[in-house]
Amino acid sequence: MTSEPMLAVSGLSKSFKAVKAVRDVTFSIPRGKTFGLVGESGSGKSTTARLVLRLVEPTDGTIRFRGRDLAGLSPGDLRRERRHMQMIFQDPFGSLNPRMSIRDTLTEPQLVHGIGSPAEHLRTAERLLAEISMPRTALDRYPHEFSGGQRQRIAIARALSTNPELIVADEPVSALDVSVQAQVLNLLRDLQDKHGTTMLFISHDLRVVQFMCDEIAVMYLGEIVEQGPREHIYGAPAHPYTQALLASAPGKGAGKRARLKGEIPSAHAVPSGCAFRTRCPSAFERCAIEKPLMRDIGNGQKAACHLLDEAKAA
Ligand code: SF4
């Protein structure tokens, strides 16, 4: 019995010209678990998702999926592997072809990946419609005939149609009304349980990540600054950025912690030392000079902040 994670990313980096969009990102996801990447817009979460799927070529680092190094695969093998990794996007209207009926939307991925016969494609489409609580008559309708929440449910069914082992969901509910977000998240979680799918879940919304994820990595300016099991990240955040994000989340209240101030700097001008220092309420001299390294703080949690060294020394 193998304990190899479904996805293992190590030292993943991506530069676009002189801009380092993602720097040295390392994490792994055990089979059937959900790993969350959280951070503000511009933190590098979506680029990381695209790197994992090899929609963007990494500058450096390795991606092992189902025990295989994706960089070592031939274009044909990579195409075949894609069947096992599907993506759900933020905007279901943009990701569903408006000229394709729901029947074609749900059968096409199976056809493209050479899975089963046309009769089986249709049976799978019917089963998936039932799983997202839609009638069979939806097969002959088109995306514009549905609401945003219904379209996202169809996009989820489409992602599941090849029976993937990994789903990468990039802000899957942020374009939806708050009233339907919970329905879509519950559906996603139920279907994940049922199919045993592993998930990389990306969101700027901490409440959504808390609901969905087993383990969480907090990203800032292209790097992971804190990572650990959900209960520790939410119960005892160690990095000032995580603390400020939590204090700034709607409904959480600031408590004694400082809310997040100012804007995330441009990736063209990453501050020296600790990238968060220009917004950090606890910054001190060392933070401008020396980059903090990720350090293990127990219970599977790690964070990159000089305060952790100072606390240990004290
Ligand atoms: Fe703040 Fe310094 Fe820690 Fe960075 S290293 S988060 S600036 S205290």
Share of the chain above pLDDT 90, in %: 77
Residues 6+ apart with CB under 8 A from 270: 20, 221, 222
What average pLDDT does the chain have? 92
Nearest CA residue ID for atom 7, ligand 1: 277
Residue-wise DSSP of 196-242: T-EEEEEES-HHHHHHH-SEEEEEETTEEEEEEEHHHHHHS--SHHH
Please tell me the distance between residue 284's alpha carbon and the centre of ligand 1 in angstroms: 7
Which pLDDT belongs to residue 255?
59
Task: Please give the model's pTM, rounded to 2 decimal places.
Answer: 0.93
| pLDDT of the residue at 2 | 54
Q: State the pLDDT at residue 94.
A: 76
**Residues ≥6 apart with Cβ < 8 Å to 102:** 125, 129, 138, 139, 140, 141, 142, 143, 154
pLDDT for position 178: 87
Asked whether 292 lines ligand 1 (CB < 6 A), one says yes
Tell me: pLDDT of 238 over 90: yes
- Tell me, what's the pLDDT at 249? 80
According to CATH, what is the number of the domain 7-84+162-313? 3.40.50.300
Closest atom, ligand 1, to C-alpha of 239 = 6
Q: How far is the CA of 283 from the centre of ligand 1 (A)?
A: 5
- What's the chain's Rg over C-alpha atoms? 21
Instruction: Please identify, by atom number, the ligand 1 atom nearest to the C-alpha of residue 281.
Output: 1
Say whether pLDDT at 256 is over 70.
Answer: no
Alpha-helical runs (H) found in the chain: 45-52, 75-82, 92-95, 102-112, 118-131, 148-160, 178-195, 206-212, 230-235, 240-248, 285-289, 306-313
CA of 201 to the centre of ligand 1 (A): 26
* Residue 163 CB–ligand 1 contact under 6 Å: no
Stretch 78-101: mean pLDDT, rounded? 89
Residue 83 burial (CB count, 10 A): 17
Confidence of residue 252 (pLDDT cuts 50, 70, 90): low
Cα gap 28→58, rounded to integer Å: 17
Structure confidence at residue 209 (pLDDT): 95
Tell me the pLDDT band of 128, cut-offs 50, 70 and 90: very high
Confidence at residue 185, expressed as pLDDT on a 0 to 100 scale = 95
User: What's the average model confidence in pLDDT over 97-124?
Assistant: 95
Q: What angle do CA 83, 156, 98 make, to 5 degrees?
A: 95
In this predicted structure, what is the pLDDT of residue 92? 73
